[in-house]
């Protein structure tokens, strides 16, 4: 079992565990429910990756797991953006963007089960099965993920510039930990675009829910 296999398994367990913990602590709180949704999307995405990295998995099982992982992963960017806007108490002002984001994620969910997103699995950097991009992968990853990340952090920065005291520090922490988590996630895209950089930064994904749950969300 490789280090990446262990990381994806730990990511699955960490996100499911923290998501359930936060939801159970206050199930009626909307922020906690959105955080739970976000955690579930990341956990299921990571579990799909975990299956593809197992040493004895066959090609067809790995291909289905990779496509299913991408299908669920399509909801990660909009769930994060929604979480950010709820955290900032700005979800009403941006409801159209959120609605369109979930609609696009639903479309990507179904398309992900076709070769348009993951066309094939190839051996890359000592991993037997790693996704080879389809013709729509650029829309899935570079446009959709990057747009959601920048949109969320633009409004985090905007709020940070006018905030004061403890809230200002919390906004900075929220933005910093989010960037660390997404840096880990984006590192996994590099090999898909045939950029030969090992996804060591994927370990950062595991740290994100603990930081969010223990610092940011508990004080909202």
In this prediction, residue 86 carries a pLDDT of 92
The whole-angstrom distance between residue 179's C-alpha and the CA centroid of its chain comes to: 11
In this prediction, residue 37 carries a pLDDT of 94
**Do 68 and 50 touch, CB atoms closer than 8 A?**
no
Q: Give the three-state DSSP class for 131.
A: strand
- Give the burial class of 106: count Cβ atoms within 10 A of its Cβ; 0-12 exposed, 13-18 middle, 19 or more buried: middle
In this prediction, residue 219 carries a pLDDT of 45
What is the rounded distance in angstroms from the CA atom of residue 143 to the CA atom of residue 105? 12
Q: What is the CATH number of the domain that holds 190?
A: 1.20.1070
**Sequential pLDDT tens for the chain (220 residues):** 577 788 888 889 989 998 898 888 888 889 889 989 999 999 999 999 999 989 889 999 999 999 999 999 999 999 999 999 998 889 889 999 999 999 999 999 999 999 999 999 998 877 888 899 999 988 887 767 788 888 988 998 899 888 888 888 888 888 888 877 777 777 777 778 878 777 666 677 777 777 766 655 554 4
Q: Which residues make Cβ contacts (< 8 Å) with residue 155, sequence separation at least 6? A: 84, 85, 88, 90, 94
Q: How many domains does the chain have?
A: 1
Q: Domain range spanning residue 89?
A: 3-219
Going from the C-alpha of 126 to that of each of 12, 114, 129, the distances in angstroms are 22, 25, 9
What single-letter DSSP state applies at residue 114? S
Q: Residue 127 pairs with which residues in a beta bridge?
A: 124
**Do 101 and 81 touch, CB atoms closer than 8 A?**
yes
In this prediction, residue 1 carries a pLDDT of 55
pTM, full prediction: 0.88
In this prediction, residue 215 carries a pLDDT of 55
What is the rounded distance in angstroms from the CA atom of residue 163 to the CA atom of residue 17? 32
What is the rounded distance in angstroms from the CA atom of residue 45 to the CA atom of residue 8? 9
What is the rounded distance in angstroms from the CA atom of residue 65 to the CA atom of residue 161? 43
Going from the C-alpha of 170 to that of each of 39, 88, 110, 177, 205, the distances in angstroms are 20, 11, 37, 10, 19
In this prediction, residue 8 carries a pLDDT of 86
């Amino acid at each position: 079992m490789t280090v990446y296999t262990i990381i994806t398994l730990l990511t699955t367990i960490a996100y499911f565990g923290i998501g359930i913990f936060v939801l159970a602590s206050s199930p009626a709180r909307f922020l906690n429910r959105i955080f739970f949704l976000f955690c579930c999307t990341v956990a299921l995405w990571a579990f799909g990756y975990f299956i593809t990295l197992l040493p004895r998995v066959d090609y067809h099982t790995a291909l289905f797991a990779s496509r299913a992982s991408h299908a669920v992963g399509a909801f990660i960017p909009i769930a994060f953006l929604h979480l950010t806007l709820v955290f900032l108490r700005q979800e009403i002002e941006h409801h159209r963007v959120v609605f369109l984001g979930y609609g696009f994620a639903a479309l990507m969910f179904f398309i992900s089960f076709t070769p348009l997103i993951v066309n094939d699995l190839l051996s890359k950097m000592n991993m037997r099965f790693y996704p080879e991009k389809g013709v729509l992968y650029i829309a899935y990853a570079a446009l959709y993920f990057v747009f959601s990340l920048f949109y969320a952090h633009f409004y985090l920065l905007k709020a940070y510039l006018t905030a004061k005291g403890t809230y200002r520090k919390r906004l900075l922490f929220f933005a910093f930990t989010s960037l660390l988590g997404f840096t880990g996630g984006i590192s996994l895209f590099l090999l898909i675009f045939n950029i030969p950089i090992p996804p060591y930064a994927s370990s950062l994904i595991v740290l994100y829910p603990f930081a969010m749950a223990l610092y940011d969300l508990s004080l909202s």
